[in-house]
Amino acid sequence: RNNKKTPALSRFLNVTISSALLFAVNQAADLVIQLSSSPKTKQDVSGFGTVFTDHMLTIEWTLTEGWQAPLIMPFVNLSLHPACSALHYGIQLFEGLKVYRGDDKRLRLFRPMLNMSRMAKSARRACLPAFDQTELLECIRRLVELDQDFVPHSDSCSLYIRPTFISTECSLGIKKPTRALLYVIMCQVGSYFNNEAEAVSLWADPKYTRAWKGGTGDCKMGGNYGGTLFAQYEAVEYGCQQVLWLYGEDHQITEAGTMNIFLHWINEDGEEELATPPLDGIILPGITRQSILELTRKWGEFKVTERYLNMGRLCSALEQHRVKEMFGSGTACMICPVGHIVYHGESLHIPHQDKNAKLSSRIEKELTDIQVGGCSNTQKHMHACMHTHIPQMFPLAQQQLG
């Protein structure tokens, strides 16, 4: 292995409070890089999340010593104690963001500080230690720089970044961790669904609940996903691809599979509206969701609302032909139109406009242009005005990574 050092890249903040003692900032002097001695042969991208890059980032933390020096090392299996509390009690979380290669060959990250902020929020909820978000992002940038050849030269593919934070407490019993590991892996990804050109089908049944008030539905924790598998496979038995998650006695619409959900319709007051459920603790605050809201509000062409939607209102709107379209959003799929919903044994057809006329297609094109830096002069001017909301590139992404 070859070693090289990059000075002063990580100053992770240790703010763990124990026995009324506030630990001071622990500064790591160097990011250590250990290069892989056997680089992988680059493969064509097929599927989602199976082809990983040559390297990974790891940072260890202990209550007594704080954050250790970040290490970029060859991609290897983790070694965990059999009593590791991440395995027994689900004290863990993750994030997901992508690296895009533009027509100008530059690599860009889309709004990465929003992912860092959401990860910090999830960490607080999981009683895992705080970290310096900017410094972590810089370490991730260096990891991308090192493995940049894995970023596909394709409009339909990208490099997916998976920051993960787990407790490595090596004793049984539910307690606040005294040991933790933050690591980052990356993999090539294509389409999340087998055919993203087709609208997805959803199964809506109130007997299953994805999240509840006071829970962790607004955090990106593994338990929120593993607990959905049973319902997902039941949806397949009913001929559907995903679950439309409902909540409460009035069957509130919350999320679709792992996506945020949007409804473009003419509302009860006769107004054209783009609506999505509010962030009330059971909805994951998606980065794509936030970007769609900010982008469409900037257009100022129709009402954009965060409001409660339920199956009763949706069924009435479908009967009265007031629904224009419905779609999901997320990092993995970007935009995914909904084709029909199975509810109470009935198949509800969701209208489809011509692809060029659909709002979702327009949104997807605009966001894709921002992500790959392919904006027109008009778009560049608009996005410059939106710099604090949806910049073309964040400061990190403004740098060419190779």
102 plus 211 within the same structural domain: no
Q: Which pLDDT score is estimated for 133? A: 94
Same domain, 159 and 96: yes
Residues 135 and 271 in one domain: no
Q: Tokens in use for 371?
A: 């992500």
Average pLDDT value over all residues in the chain: 86
Which pLDDT value is given to residue 259?
A: 97
Residue 380 lies in a domain: no
| 160 and 55 share one domain | yes
Mean pLDDT, residues 354-367 taken together: 85
The neighbour count for residue 1, using CB atoms within 10 Å, is 9
pLDDT at site 44? 73
Measure the CA dihedral 48/52/56/60, to 10°: 50
Q: Report the pLDDT value the prediction gives residue 46, as an integer from 0 to 100.
A: 67
Predicted pLDDT at 333: 85
Give yes or no: residues 334 and 367 share one domain. yes
Q: Identify whether 344 is part of a domain.
A: yes
Q: Given a cut of 50, is residue 29 above it in pLDDT? A: no
With 60 as the cut, is the pLDDT of residue 392 above it? no
pLDDT of residue 14: 33
| Domain C-terminal end among 136, 167, 189 | 189
Phi and psi torsions of 323, nearest 5°: -90, 125
Residue 111 lies in a domain: yes
Q: Which amino acid is at 75?
A: F
Question: What is the per-residue pLDDT for 394?
Answer: 37
What pTM was computed for the model? 0.86
pLDDT in tens, 77-109: 999 999 999 999 999 999 999 999 988 889 999
Number of domains comprising the chain? 2
Q: Are residues 182 and 213 in the same domain?
A: no
244-291 pLDDT tens trace: 999 999 999 999 999 999 999 999 999 999 999 999 999 999 999 999
Residues 112 and 39 in one domain: yes
Residue 327 domain flag: yes
Any idea what DSSP says for residue 112? H
Q: 80: Cβ–Cβ under 8 A, 6 or more apart, which residues?
A: 86, 87, 168
The verdict on 46 and 138 lying in the same domain is yes
pLDDT band at 9 (very low <50, low <70, confident <90, very high): very low
What local confidence, expressed as pLDDT, does residue 330 receive?
95
Q: Per the domain annotation, does 207 fall within a domain?
A: yes
- Residue 397 scores a pLDDT above 60: no
Mean predicted confidence (pLDDT) in 352-369: 84
Percent of the chain whose predicted confidence (pLDDT) is above 90: 74
* Same domain, residue pair 235 and 124: no
**Same domain assignment for residues 182 and 216:** no
Length of the chain: 402
19, part of any domain = no
Decide which of 189, 224, 256 is a domain's last residue.
189
Q: What is the CATH number of the domain that holds 81?
A: 3.30.470.10
**CATH for 348:** 3.20.10.10
Residue 256: both structure tokens together: 């679709």
* Degrees, nearest 5: CA angle 301-307-310: 120
Q: Is residue 389 part of a domain?
A: no
| Domain end point (choices 189, 224, 241) | 189
For residue 24, pLDDT over 80 is answered with no
Q: Residue 11: exposed, middle, or buried by beta-carbon count in 10 A (0-12, 13-18, 19+)?
A: middle
Q: So what's the pLDDT on residue 283?
A: 97
pLDDT, mean of residues 200-213: 96
Q: Do 116 and 12 form a contact (C-beta atoms < 8 A)?
A: no
What average pLDDT does the segment 217-225 reach? 97
Q: Would you say residue 374 has pLDDT above 90?
A: no
Residues 178 and 228 both lie in one domain? no
Q: Which of 138-152, 213-227, 323-337, 387-401 has the lowest mean pLDDT?
A: 387-401
Q: How confident is the model at residue 197 (pLDDT cuts 50, 70, 90)?
A: low
Do 133 and 68 lie in one domain? The reply is yes
Q: What is the pLDDT of residue 355?
A: 63
Residue 293 domain-assigned (yes or no):
yes
For every residue of 9-76, DSSP letters joined together read EE------EETTEE-----EEEEEEEE-SSPPPP----SEEEEE-SEEEEEEEETTTEEPPPEEEE--
Domain that holds residue 234: 200-372
Q: What is the pLDDT of residue 13?
A: 34
